[in-house]
Structure 1
Amino acid sequence: MNFSIRAQQLNTLLNQHQSLWRHNAYNEVSPRSFRDFPNLLVFLLNLSDEELQHLQANDRDLLTALAPYFPPAAELLALITLAAPLPHQNTEPPRGIPGRKWLQIQAFIDAHPRSDAASHSGESLPEVRLDNTAIIEWCSGKGYLSEALTKRYELDAIGLEIDPSLVAAGNLRASTAKHHRRVIACDVLSDQVFQHVDSSRQLLALHACGGLHQRLLNTAAVQKNPRLSISPCCYHRFNQGEYRYLSAQMQGSELRFSNDDLRTAVRQTKTARSGETQARRQLQAWYLGLRLILEEHRIATNTPLPSTPQHWSKTSFRDWLNAVLTLKPLELSLPANLTQYEKAGWQCLREAERIDLVRMAFRRAIELHCVLDSVLFLEEHHYHCTLSEFCASSLTPRNLLIQAEKV
């Protein structure tokens, strides 16, 4: 894979269609951004609820469905398609590790080449492999990944974690382990990290957020760690408000991502309960109903409104409105026929969810654009890199895996 060419192609597509993926249908119901693709809008608004839910959850099916009405979708689909994940072990999780997290850990480990697999095929082996080099788990939490690795491969491991309660819990789990591992209290964004990271260990991070995994890359470039394995997550966190390019190639791009843009990249979720989803939609419909009221009072419909906790969805529309207007005083009186505005809010939500599918069609492209920046940065620092999906998106949509070995 030529990462440089793919990054440039993604950059061009994202640049050309900013009006679509920056359009937030929940804030601006008017679909003016679609004037160049009128058939696309007709297709979206006629989707059934079942079709909508399926396309919201599946990037490839979404782009395939959009392609007849939005030709760039076919190119987007080709650019976001990576090597499919390999089959992975499925064993019972150790006590205390959530089942879904355990499946992710097993898939992450199984996605790496192993010494025994390579030797059976007659391939020559680089000296550094996941299964033969001591590890540092970055932002480790309780060290679940380290625990799995030390049990499977008899490796020494340390975890770096800032939360004292997680450090304590992780070391309690490690106290009965056969192989040496421990969790160290460390803020990886501080210079303290250089006390623990040296060139003898490989760095691993399963779902390290935004600025935290960028810090890992910068640290590895300085310390010359022999191997990195990173699954990035939540690109909008720990980044001072916007995405900051690491690679020289992408620093030349005019395209910039705000944190709102980066949230688009991680909007796909597989873990929300049906009750949580319904509560979220209820509040969204109420917000849209309130914006209709604002419009009638000649108050700008893009007026910032306070977010409200999910449990407020259990109140009535009137009580919710009064609570919001207490937090954000506005010069308006509530109309008597609130039921009409609540119904209209639900209709606006129905349209917004369908129109928003176009923004969602770019979510993987935005994510991959950021990940390719990381890969290019590593290549510039003399790492050989691969990029793949370590598990199905149904297990976690944040399934991209960068593997890098020092040349």
Structure 2
Amino acid sequence: MLSSQFNKIDKYLAQLMGYWHYNAFSLVGYPAFNENSALIEFLASIDQAKLSLYQNNPSLLHPLLKQFIPELLDVSDPLFEVKDLSDKLASNIPFWFKNGIKGRKLTQIEQFSQRINDQLPILEWCAGKGHLGRLIHFKNNNPVTAVEWNDELCLQGKVLAEKHAIPQTFYQANVLLNEADIHLKQEQHAVALHACGDLHRHLINAAGQSETEKVTISPCCYHLTKDQYYQPLSNHVQQTSQLLSGLTLSKQDLKLAVSQQSTLGARQTELNDQEVWWRLSFDCLQKAIRGTSTYLNVPSFPKTLLSSDFSEFAQWVIECKKLSFELPADLSEYLQQGKERFNQVRRAELVSQFFRRPLELWLVYDRGLRLQEWGYQVQVSTFCESQVTPRNLLIQASR
């Protein structure tokens, strides 16, 4: 079942590769979109109000785009459906558990924990303060082992466990250095809620090697990996993928899978837009002054810079990248060029947004297939609604 679903999505992504496989930041103008000039003309005609409407309601845009891309599937197409396990029942979490956990995170923890219905000892992978493990114990009376890299979070979690008399043992460990593998046992249920990239990849293989009885994972941040290009986990994907036979997935491609940010507030959305605009504006500036056509990648920067002005941001980049030029007195020309590129990027994303979920499913099925190869029975589902978190896909594996 998983291999069949993977193959169908793989074929779909490969067929329409030109509409999602590109680096938006390195573009000047619209992506080639397979030389679909009519589509580019349509995107350029979309005003700001329609842009916001289509960003938040892609199904309204879908019939319009199908005029230019007949093969394009809607985000609600049956090909992308998985079993819905989200629990819409009233919460029965005790009041003492909720202290210090923000609303959506609390809902994620609660709904994830509803999928754990056995009394196997729990191993919580990348546990943070161990909120998930404590709630699973509250529901099922499981003993809990929590592994976490951040020693301070381990200490805080230990205090909470002792305060509420919960049998939860914390171990400080770097899972990427195999320090947590010794805590994986055969008679155990390993759980991980939004462990990023290589962290959950490592758990899949380590649990398989330990023959851990059950594994329940909600993956996140597929692009946080040591590898420059995506390395498939499963033999099936390595050997049969039509997509990877003609394409190497970059970290930029992997970011597309997690680019939906439906839980962001208005202020955070505004800051994200400003950051993209300023990054593109600086790229216009450095190309003009340095006489180059090559995009200059700017690393993560202190977000406090967004509260200043563009010149301060640009000076930070110059110092960070050790560039040898002085800022011009007037930067308005580059800000305008950056704004034009920003508007094009956002309109191109109206198309690429239709490939976020297919690409994420492609990645999740690769993980599920790897667990199958380790001898597990695997189910892929959603554990909560996308308004709670867009990263709502769940992998449940049982021997």
TM-score bracket relative to the smaller structure: 0.7 to 0.9
Q: Displacement, 1:258? A: 2.0
Closer, same or farther: CA 313–384 of 1 in aligned 2, 3 Å: same
Q: Which amino acid aligns with 2:82?
A: L
> Which segment is superposed worse, 214-223 or 312-321?
312-321
Q: Displacement, 1:260? A: 2.0
SS at match of 1:256: coil
> Which segment is superposed worse, 21-30 or 55-64?
55-64
Q: Which amino acid aligns with 1:153?
A: N
Closer, same or farther: CA 281–132 of 1 in aligned 2, 3 Å: same
Q: Displacement, 1:38? A: 2.9
> Which segment is superposed worse, 309-318 or 133-142?
309-318
**2 CA distance for matches of 1:86 and 1:389?**
6
What corresponds to 2:33 in structure 1? 34
What corresponds to 2:252 in structure 1? 260
**8 A Cα contact 2:372 2:378, kept in partner:** yes
2:103 aligns with one of 99, 119, 134: 99
Q: Which amino acid aligns with 1:148?
A: L
> Which segment is superposed worse, 239-248 or 96-105?
239-248
Q: Which amino acid aligns with 2:220?
A: C
What corresponds to 1:234 in structure 2? 221
1:282 aligns with one of 274, 279, 288: 274
1:310-329 correspondence runs (5 A): 310-328=303-321
Indicate yes or no: 2:76 matched with 1:84: no
TM-score scaled by structure 1? 0.85
**8 A Cα contact 2:30 2:345, kept in partner:** no
CA deviations 1:221-257 (Å, max 9, x no partner) are 1111221111000112244333221211101132432
What corresponds to 2:159 in structure 1? 172
**1 CA distance for matches of 2:130 and 2:226?**
24
**8 A Cα contact 1:226 1:405, kept in partner:** yes
2:197 aligns with one of 207, 210, 218: 210
Q: Which amino acid aligns with 1:106?
A: E
Closer, same or farther: CA 83–64 of 1 in aligned 2, 3 Å: farther
> Which segment is superposed worse, 222-231 or 187-196?
187-196
**8 A Cα contact 1:280 1:310, kept in partner:** no
1:149 aligns with one of 136, 145, 149: 136
**8 A Cα contact 2:86 2:385, kept in partner:** no
Q: Which amino acid aligns with 1:70?
A: I
SS at match of 2:339: helix
**8 A Cα contact 1:294 1:301, kept in partner:** no
Q: Displacement, 1:363? A: 1.9
**2 CA distance for matches of 1:258 and 1:159?**
32
What corresponds to 1:378 in structure 2? 371
Q: Displacement, 1:384? A: 1.3
SS at match of 1:72: coil
Q: Displacement, 1:336? A: 6.0
CA deviations 1:296-320 (Å, max 9, x no partner) are 5572343314344322233333444
**1 CA distance for matches of 2:169 and 2:346?**
46
> Which segment is superposed worse, 219-228 or 333-342?
333-342
Q: Which amino acid aligns with 1:82?
A: V
**8 A Cα contact 1:57 1:268, kept in partner:** no
CA deviations 1:373-406 (Å, max 9, x no partner) are 1111122222111111111111111110011111
Closer, same or farther: CA 282–167 of 1 in aligned 2, 3 Å: same
Q: Which amino acid aligns with 1:193?
A: A
CA deviations 1:351-372 (Å, max 9, x no partner) are 2211122233222222111110
Closer, same or farther: CA 84–290 of 1 in aligned 2, 3 Å: same
CA deviations 1:186-215 (Å, max 9, x no partner) are 222334434221111111111111111111
CA deviations 1:142-166 (Å, max 9, x no partner) are 1110111111222211111121111
What corresponds to 2:292 in structure 1? 300
**8 A Cα contact 1:217 1:378, kept in partner:** yes
Indicate yes or no: 2:183 matched with 1:196: yes
Flag structure 2 segments of 5+ consecutive residues without an equivalent: none
1:158 aligns with one of 139, 145, 166: 145
**2 CA distance for matches of 1:298 and 1:201?**
58
**2 CA distance for matches of 1:167 and 1:330?**
41
**1 CA distance for matches of 2:373 and 2:386?**
30
**1 CA distance for matches of 2:261 and 2:32?**
26
